[in-house]
Structure 1
């Protein structure tokens, strides 16, 4: 039996040990899914507090209850900061961040540091899968040589695949199991290992010809959204100047049964993928002498939306003979999208910073984020405040930045003196509601 045959057998018999590296919004749901079907899972993370909480049966993510973590623990799940335990695993799945640096260039430090922490403990018969969003060539150029330097031969004694994450936190219509999984291998043997790794836990695995094709697939998915959101954000500005409600227009256009997909405007892009992924492709495209003008233009439009919203707040306060400086502004919703606690790249935080820099006294209300969490680039020492009938009148302006369903929009409408609505919650004209 070859090394590959032995690995395939272990994966298909669910005797393999699965190592998931990075226990955030991608890695934790994936770990849960592998536990559900009977694999033993070792979760790796560099944050001791995360590891401690998970081993105590406590969840790190709002939409995964503590009871699920307790069930995982009963099935053998264990979290650790000890990367030497990678030797125990038959599969190592990397779910680590791929942010941008201050020059808006790809920052692969999390991926590279993770691989370099794992490689000294790798052994023949393992498959490594990268799920982090990145530019085409990352798996071949960054992971492959490091594995080979360990003395392992990719496609013979070690197997390397790229399979992009497709998590959508808060979406009740899709789960880790039901979202099709794209997978590309460094070699045909690697692809076999990757398909065997995922087809036990995902309903549909979609094989592609290479890791680079899989990497570009993920970028296309998110750039598609970024470009279309950029389009509708620009249309919002045009419609506003013309005195037309863009949300009415989108709803009417969406009645066309073909050739139109509705996208909603907002105060900017959020989440780990859509604000970042276009820059990964534009950076890599320059290596091939290609200037991605269309993608970059959409990025410029989307990046400008927080300034557009701040200008709306400023004008609305001016109309009431108030300046931003000294005004008390309550931001409703600081997660990047509705009904989740995920704050990665949230435009709400950018709005808070811009308003604070202009001299406003800024607070926030978010039922999903009770305390402003530590973030790499943003710092607020704040806790969520109530947005109810007794308190709304205290604010000079209430800015709807993320439209969680838990907010009572009737109460907000009736008790806030000024509302700047960046999410289109109020469709009827109201004298104290400004659409942004």
Structure 2
């Protein structure tokens, strides 16, 4: 039982690999429910002092209850929002509570293992055009009026945008792991692994994810541009984007052409998504800053626009438009607790790089997909960052 307790945080992070399979009982949710008795038995009383996240989840869950009673257009959806909020709260607390048994290195390993398990599947999807049963996209698309085979990797997430999003928020953890690898051979294999991640993102033709990876890499180079990092590693990262882009252009021209076409046609913006952001802001204002209610975004948007995309595609708009200014403010307090600038810019330490990289990636990464609040992945990510911000220092004891 003690062995299980010591690995619950890792298990929850790695369980993301099962993606959307299980529906409401996706792997992280199911495991969180199963681990609940252990959490009650092992709950760290110091966690009760975590005012920021308790304040946020209390206001978040209470607003879901009020929505069901007074604001809902769809009772089933509001009930789901309430259930998801409770489970996500449990996931968050379990990761934070059981992180006391693991080092920073092991926490990072959880994210590395998750991505490492996904990349071989993604490579098979791309090269052999084989996709899981929950895939939401076809394989064909049109480039310049000519039909072509659309290569992509969504693994178990159905939507390749969700997989892209997870790669984007995982990348600071992936890069941070390099600081723990001293063996030259392991470094070589690990850099090949990073190349594979970039290749998958380029093949998926995700502009936002590409920028997230680039931001994480540039911040990593700047953060460790002192003598503390090998020049070989630094120059390797500088060459990653150019090398992989060249490889994609030569070996996988269809995917590169699709990316090029998307950028030429849309640049780095998407008019449909931009419109939904404006709709979300209008909802917030029309509701007198109180929000339209948990789970009511699509029903409200349907009355305000003819846009077929009835989701905000933006975490902050999703929260602000549905939950209003009070819940949004408590969320900002939680983010400030995690990304405290006094902590991030104090020293060039591994935890601080992860926090800074994640902070700069966050505004872009949370526009790649949609419906962030219900999914457990965002809360696993935030809980991991909360652990790093609150508990980990760069010392021999808890880093290795």
Q: Provide TM-score, normalisation by structure 1.
A: 0.30
Structure whose CA Rg is larger: 1
Q: Which structure dedicates a bigger proportion of its chain to strand?
A: 1
Q: Please identify which structure carries the higher helix content.
A: 2
Structure with higher RCO (Cα < 8 A, 6+ apart):
2
